[in-house]
């Protein structure tokens, strides 16, 4: 599997493009603020056509450009059901102390084709890839780790629940440190240390590297 990524907008949120090696179809993950134009350039440069957008959770820095991206290619978005409300009303997913003026320019709307992800273990298949949803509450109610096993190492798209050297923030609405740690243990403990982690911010890492910091994994 080929992974193409870039930090989107002022929040520096990682947007990922996943495609089978040598393929011409892809899946887009977390198209955040100002991601639409860079995504279009990646499609042009690599000769790719997207089949779907997948979201790790509902926070606006991960979802900001989902409407224009989905509209441009007429593709669906898969969003954790418990976080869907944030697409049209992102302020509800933010702490009261978060400055609301930062939301200026947000679409406050849903794409035409929204497909809620309702359960742990749900699979989606697009572009020759299989992604398995693993519900990982604790950062937001619907936070989801997407497990892609289409190559030997396997990849986890961890959003904001697990970063290189850090566990996810739990101070926002629906956050819970205890729930997050339980969720991460349930998901990560059975996996091989070679599993590659693709977080929502910062660089990629491996499960083995993060286990040195966090034994719960």
Q: Is residue 108 one of the residues assigned to a domain?
A: yes
What was the pLDDT predicted at 96? 82
- Separation of alpha carbons 206 and 204, rounded Å: 7
What was the pLDDT predicted at 30? 99
What was the pLDDT predicted at 101? 87
pLDDT in tens, 107-136: 999 999 999 999 899 999 999 999 999 999
Q: Tell me the CATH number at 19.
A: 3.60.15.10
> 192 pLDDT band (50/70/90 cuts)?
very high
pLDDT in tens, 5-41: 999 999 999 999 999 999 999 999 999 999 999 999 9
Q: Is residue 70 one of the residues assigned to a domain?
A: yes
Q: In what order do the strands lie in the sheet with 114-117?
A: 2-8, 13-19, 25-29, 49-54, 77-80, 114-117
Number of domains in the chain: 1
Q: How far apart are the first and last CA of the chain?
A: 24
- Separation of alpha carbons 196 and 212, rounded Å: 15
Q: Is residue 216 one of the residues assigned to a domain?
A: no
Mean pLDDT of 66-84: 99
Q: Is residue 131 one of the residues assigned to a domain?
A: yes
What was the pLDDT predicted at 149? 87
SS3 content of the chain, % helix, strand, coil (to 5): 25, 30, 45
This prediction has a pTM of: 0.96
Q: Is residue 217 one of the residues assigned to a domain?
A: no
Concatenated DSSP letters for 41-100?
A: HHHHHHT-EEEEEE-S---HHHHTTHHHHHHHHT--EEEEGGGTHHHH-GGGGS-TTS-G
Mean pLDDT of the chain: 96
Spell out the residues 6+ positions from residue 165 whose beta carbon is closer than 8 angstroms to its own.
Answer: 205, 210, 213
Token pair for 129: 């890839």
What was the pLDDT predicted at 139? 97
Q: Is residue 93 one of the residues assigned to a domain?
A: yes
Token pair for 203: 């660089």
Mean pLDDT of 201-212: 98
3-state secondary structure of 10: coil
> 50 pLDDT band (50/70/90 cuts)?
very high
- Host domain of residue 120: 2-211
pLDDT in tens, 135-191: 999 999 999 999 998 877 799 999 999 999 999 999 999 999 999 999 999 999 999
Mean pLDDT of 190-210: 98
What was the pLDDT predicted at 186? 98
């Amino acid at each position: 599997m080929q992974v193409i990524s870039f930090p989107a907008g002022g929040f520096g949120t990682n947007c990922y493009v996943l495609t089978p090696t040598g393929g011409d179809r892809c899946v887009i993950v977390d198209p955040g603020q100002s991601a639409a134009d860079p995504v279009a350039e990646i499609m042009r440069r690599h000769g790719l056509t997207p089949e779907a957008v997948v979201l790790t959770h509902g926070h606006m820095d991960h979802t900001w450009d989902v409407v224009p991206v989905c509209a441009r290619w007429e593709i669906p978005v898969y969003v954790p059901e418990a976080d869907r409300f944030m697409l049209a009303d992102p302020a509800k997913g933010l702490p009261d102390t978060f400055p609301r003026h930062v939301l200026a320019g947000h679409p406050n709307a849903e794409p035409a084709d929204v497909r809620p992800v309702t359960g742990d273990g749900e699979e989606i298949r697009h572009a020759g890839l299989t992604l398995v949803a693993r519900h990982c509450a604790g950062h937001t109610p619907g936070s989801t780790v997407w497990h892609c096993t289409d190559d030997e190492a396997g990849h986890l798209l961890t959003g904001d629940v697990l970063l290189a050297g850090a566990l996810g923030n739990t101070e926002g609405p629906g956050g819970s440190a205890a729930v997050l740690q339980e969720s991460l243990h349930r998901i990560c403990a059975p996996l091989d240390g070679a599993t590659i982690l693709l977080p929502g911010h910062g660089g990629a890492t491996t499960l083995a590297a993060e286990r040195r910091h966090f034994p719960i994994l």
